[in-house]
Amino acid sequence: MEHAREKHELSERHACRLVNQWRGTQRYLPIQRVDEDALTRAIITLASEYGRYGYLRITALLRTAGWQVGKDRVQRIWRREGLKIPKKQQPRRRLWLNDGSCVRLRPERANHVWSYDFVSAIDLTGVFCTSGSEREFTLEGSWYADEEIQAGTDRDAVAAG
C-alpha cells in the first residue's frame, strides 16, 4: 500500500478506498507476546505426543498444564506452524471376496510377481479358449506387464467335454 501511495501520490484515505480496505488495517501493528515462543514449543510438543488431537483438545491440555490461553490463539499458532491432524486409515478388510477370488496382496520383495489373471470362454464356434495375463508389481513402483501366458484354443478340453 505504501508503494502505491508513493508511486501515484495518493492519500492514505484515497488509496484505501481504491482497494476497498479499512484504514485501520494499514495502521495495525501486530503485538508479539512474551510467551509466544514457549507456547509454540508447548503446542508442537503436545501435537507430536498426541497425534490425533486437534487444536481444541490441545487447548484443553494446555489449560490443565497451567497456560492461560484461548482456543483462537492456539488455532492461530496451529495454522501458522502448519500442524494438521493425519487422516484416519481405513480398517483392513478381509482377504477374499464372495465370488471366490482373492484380493491382491502387496509384493514381498522387489520384482515379486504376485498376481496371475486367467480368463476362459467359449467362442461362437464352441471352442474353449483360455488366456492369461501376468501383472507385476515391485516395491520400487507399480507397473503392469501384460504378458500372454497361454493363448489359443484348448481342443482337448472340448473333445473331452
pLDDT digits (tens, 9 = 90+) for 92-142: 766 566 666 555 556 677 766 555 556 667 777 777 666 655 444 444 544
- Residue 9 falls in which region: left (phi positive, over 0), alpha (psi -120 to 50) or beta: left
CB 9 within 8 A of CB 40: no
Predicted confidence (pLDDT) per residue in 29-43, tens digit: 888 889 999 999 999
How much is the average pLDDT of 5-33?
86
Q: Which of 102, 134, 131 is nearest to 119 (CA)?
A: 131
Q: Which of 21, 104, 132 is nearest to 10 (CA)?
A: 21
